[in-house]
Amino acid sequence: MRCYYFILPQRVEDKVLDVLVRKTDNIQRELGSLAPVVEKKVSRLLADGIRHQNINNITEEINQADKIDTKTEGNLEVINAELEAARIRQKDLNKQLGELQEMLKKSQQWLNLSDQHFRAAISASLEILNASPLTLLDESEAVNNPITARWMIPALDQQTGADPTWSATLDTLRVPKQRGQKPWEWRREAPIRPVVFRDPGSLDGDVVHLHLEHRLVQRLLSRFLSQGFLHDELTRASVCLTNDPIPKIIVLGRLSLYGDKAARLHDEVIAMAAEWIDPANRGRKRLQPLGEGDKQDVLQLLEDSLAIAHFHEVGEGIKTRLQKHASQDIAELIPH
């Protein structure tokens, strides 16, 4: 929307309006907004309308509206009142900032989201698509500052037999298309940009900040969520190494609630953990689930292990041994 002001020489009121518009524009350019003191003073000047006999006085006072005479008690009171209001606003803003920081902390703790696990989940989804995982643009960046390291997303739309709709999804990683620019020309001139997992702190557009609500992330991670609806009895057993000398077993289940047209209403992971004892040494004893505190420690141990690549390399002998007793282990823990 554009507003235009037309000044008619034969209309005396336009002289005042012209001065008012110019003065307001100057103040807003210099201060960013019209100060309350100035706004009140101008409103008071024009409260009784624009009288022809007072045109010169009104225009002069408007020109001097931003120059406060601090020698008068009235103006000092106005200034103090405005400063006090500013202090109150600042106090409220600080309170809101503290509340937002606390909300951010709680959400991070609840999600238990880390950059490593986030990248691993995206890479796993890419591998399901038979694509290469995330790759570092510069390995030295990961050594010097892994938080701001840049990663490359493979060209999913160029794979053999690829879903053509990936082109539109990957377009979110390009710089915005210029008005009138042809799509094919835009894709040729605007390559897929590297991605980062922390706010880069700048708007230069060299990288794309990936977060949970990003369109690409939503599509990649939705593959894992959709499995729960496609397969009613999806089961899987995995083995990984940890720094704990005592072996543990963790049973994970997912409770999902669906509404009309399979709309997902709620998801919750239900976990149970226990110290694993070889059946040959159990005798008549059965595996016993750990308490809530110990269970959380074991889950954190699992999270840490999943983020370390060499902990995934488990010998075939160990896998075979554990697999042989997996059904018995689960049967002993399920009743709890």
Q: In Å, how far from its chain's centre is CA 260?
A: 29
Number of domains observed in the structure of the chain: 3
- Given 79, 107, 135, the domain boundary residue is 107
- Given 222, 247, 268, the domain boundary residue is 222
Helices within the chain (DSSP H only)? 13-31, 36-45, 55-63, 73-111, 115-128, 139-144, 166-170, 183-189, 215-230, 279-282, 292-306, 316-333
For residue 229, tell me if it sits in a domain.
Answer: no
Q: Is the same domain home to 94 and 174?
A: no
For residue 301, tell me if it sits in a domain.
Answer: yes
For residue 2, tell me if it sits in a domain.
Answer: no
What span, in angstroms and rounded, lies between the C-alpha atoms of 325 and 331?
10
Residue 152, strand partner residues: 135
Residue 166 · residue 154 · CB < 8 Å: no
The H helix count followed by the E strand count for the chain is: 12, 6
Among the ranges given (86-95, 165-174, 202-211), the one the predictor scored with the smallest mean pLDDT: 86-95
Q: Is the same domain home to 196 and 280?
A: no
Q: Is the same domain home to 82 and 146?
A: no
Q: Is the same domain home to 306 and 242?
A: yes
Q: Is the same domain home to 314 and 277?
A: yes
Q: Is the same domain home to 136 and 199?
A: yes
For residue 227, tell me if it sits in a domain.
Answer: no
The pLDDT tens digits of the residues spanning 269-301 come to 889 999 998 888 888 888 999 999 999 999 888
Q: Is the same domain home to 204 and 241?
A: no
For residue 272, tell me if it sits in a domain.
Answer: yes
Residue 195 · residue 141 · CB < 8 Å: no
Q: Give Cα separations from 332 to 146, 282, 284 (angstroms).
A: 43, 12, 12
Residue 295 · residue 273 · CB < 8 Å: yes
Its sign, for the CA torsion 124, 126, 127, 133, is negative
pLDDT of residue 1: 64
* Nearest partner of 329 among 269, 271, 291, 289, judged by Cα: 289
Q: Is the same domain home to 178 and 122?
A: yes
Q: Is the same domain home to 91 and 120?
A: no
Q: Is the same domain home to 214 and 248?
A: no
**Radius of gyration from C-alpha coordinates of the chain:** 33
The pLDDT tens digits of the residues spanning 7-30 come to 777 777 777 777 777 777 776 665
- Given 107, 135, 164, the domain boundary residue is 107
For residue 3, tell me if it sits in a domain.
Answer: no
Which residues constitute the domain of residue 315? 236-334
For residue 231, tell me if it sits in a domain.
Answer: no
* Nearest partner of 264 among 213, 230, 220, judged by Cα: 230
What span, in angstroms and rounded, lies between the C-alpha atoms of 205 and 175?
7
Q: In Å, how far from its chain's centre is CA 107?
A: 11
The yes-or-no verdict on residue 262 having pLDDT over 90 is: no
What span, in angstroms and rounded, lies between the C-alpha atoms of 257 and 267?
7
Letter for the amino acid at 79?
I
The pLDDT tens digits of the residues spanning 200-219 come to 877 777 899 998 899 999 99
Q: Collapsing DSSP states into helix, strand and coil, what is residue 123? A: helix
| Phi, psi for residue 190 in degrees, rounded to 5 | -120, 90
Q: Is the same domain home to 329 and 245?
A: yes
For residue 7, tell me if it sits in a domain.
Answer: no
Please tell me the pTM assigned to this model.
Answer: 0.58
Q: Is the same domain home to 160 and 201?
A: yes
Read off the pLDDT of each residue in 307-316 and give the average, rounded to a whole number.
84
